[in-house]
Structure 1
Amino acid sequence: MYCYESRGTDVDHFVPIARDPARTFEWKNHILACGYCNQQAKKERFPVDLTGHPLLLDPSVDDSADHMTLASTGQFFDLTPQGRETIDLLGLNARSELVEARYRSWRGVIRVFEQAAREKPTIDADDLEDLRFLPVVDAFHHFAHDVATDRLIHKAVAPELARYALHSLPIVKSIFAGCRL
């Protein structure tokens, strides 16, 4: 759930046991994580701000797109201190296989929208079905979030494609309704 690389093998305690033993068996404190995020990146680290609020994003609660943005290169850029800490702590830009997978997924999202824009005035559910199976689905989530918040215009996306994507946002939301990416 931290890096979205789809190889969840470990159950991580979001708030480490060493920090709060009372949360050891609390269901909401368990996060499916890949071995790298759990055993090599996060370990027992749990950064907090001066008020004690976690700086690491909780993927079961926080929307990562509110705290970081995905560039067309596949790299994340922070928007908040929580985004910066999450990117750094988990090595989200330091792991080349993740950056490459996000880049390929981002290009796949763009291709689907470009093809649909050339062929018809609106996008439909069939056009988007393949997006569910991209190697790293957070690319689509960030694309949809950026469309909704007008951040897409500032990326390497043609303005007409951004307008088309914005027009298609209701169908995008309906297809992915209830899915936390």
Structure 2
Amino acid sequence: MYRLPDYKLPDNENVQLYALQDIINQKDGYPAQVAAAKQNFDRKPASLFGRIRDHLEILSGHLVRCSYCEDSCADEVEHVRPKDYYPAVTFHWENYLFACGPCNGGKRNKYPLIVDGQKIDLSQHRKQNGIVPPPDGIEMFIDPRTEEAMDHIWLDIIGGTFRFDPLNEDDQLSYDRADSTITILRLNREVLTRARKNAFTGYIDRLAQYARRKKEDGPDDELRSRQKDIAISPHRTVWLEIKRQKNLIPIAKVLFEEAPETLDL
């Protein structure tokens, strides 16, 4: 899980999203806005959201994969902040990403907050308080559209578990936000750790083949093609972690010394 790049949505799509959002915002009171968010998103214009999907694909480097686990194909537009609690961002471009069924099914409306030092579950908050706006607090779910998840989460390559774990043991808030995100999305399912291990082997193999062909003075178009193969391979966080941990992975250290330009991929 890593931060997706910034991407400016074209004005035409932005204007249409703004108009749809304004319908919700004009409703009288929060409960009416929540109801309108669900109703209007269920009836969202297919042509507009076909284009939104196209833009998300470009934003994702043409990897039509879940933005959370990076394993499963996913082309459905999902919300980071749940529209049931945050109707004001139902039609906000920055609140959209691709998410697969297992990740989105696990997440659903889970979006915990820290309020006055206490962890608040919004579903419980609603049961206890009715349909009222969420309290102001610290969001305990890392949003890959707006923040770098790798500042809080790391991948255990050296230990061979290929699990995601909190990175900052000396920063309790960062640790807890990472742990909360990993738990909500179930990012350490066995199928995912196996897939990351396979991705690691694949990345090292591609990097080794590239370095070998570079030594052999392979043609530029072939080298560019091999670079692209690395850049668009699934489980991009594995690649980013190979780069981050290169000094701890002997084969990666050697290969990056032979082909330092691949560090830019």
Structure 1 residue 45 displacement after superposition: 0.6
Q: Which has the larger radius of gyration?
A: 2
Q: Which runs of 5+ in 1 are unaligned?
A: 177-181
Root-mean-square deviation (Å): 2.9
1:7 aligns with 2:73: yes
**Equivalent position SS for 2:154:** strand
**Equivalent position SS for 1:49:** strand
Distance 1:166 1:55 in 2: 38
What code does the residue aligned with 1:137 have?
Answer: R
Query: Equivalent of 1:136, from 212, 224, 235?
Result: 235
| Number of equivalences | 164
Counterpart of 2:165 in structure 1 is: 77
CA 1:37–1:66 in 2, change beyond 3 Å: closer, same or farther? same
Structure 1 residue 9 displacement after superposition: 4.1
Counterpart of 2:183 in structure 1 is: 88
CA 1:129–1:22 in 2, change beyond 3 Å: closer, same or farther? closer
1:36 aligns with 2:102: yes
1:59 aligns with 2:144: yes
Is the contact made by 2:77 and 2:96 (CA closer than 8 Å) also made in structure 1?
A: yes
Q: Which of the pair is proportionally richer in helix?
A: 2
CA 1:32–1:78 in 2, change beyond 3 Å: closer, same or farther? same
Q: Deviations over 1:97-127 (max 9, x none)?
A: 2211111111122233345556739xx6454
Counterpart of 1:22 in structure 2 is: 88
Counterpart of 1:48 in structure 2 is: 113
TM-score (norm 1): 0.73
Q: Which runs of 5+ in 2 are unaligned?
A: 1-66, 117-136, 168-173, 217-222
TM-score (norm 2): 0.53
- Is 83-92 or 7-16 further displaced after alignment? 7-16
What code does the residue aligned with 1:33 have?
Answer: A
Distance 1:63 1:2 in 2: 12
Is the contact made by 2:153 and 2:164 (CA closer than 8 Å) also made in structure 1?
A: yes
Structure 1 residue 133 displacement after superposition: 4.5
Distance 2:83 2:203 in 1: 39
Counterpart of 2:37 in structure 1 is: none
Counterpart of 1:179 in structure 2 is: none
Q: Deviations over 1:23-64 (max 9, x none)?
A: 11222112221111112x101011223472322121212222
Is the contact made by 1:117 and 1:161 (CA closer than 8 Å) also made in structure 2?
A: no
Percent of pairs identical after alignment? 27
Distance 1:83 1:128 in 2: 31
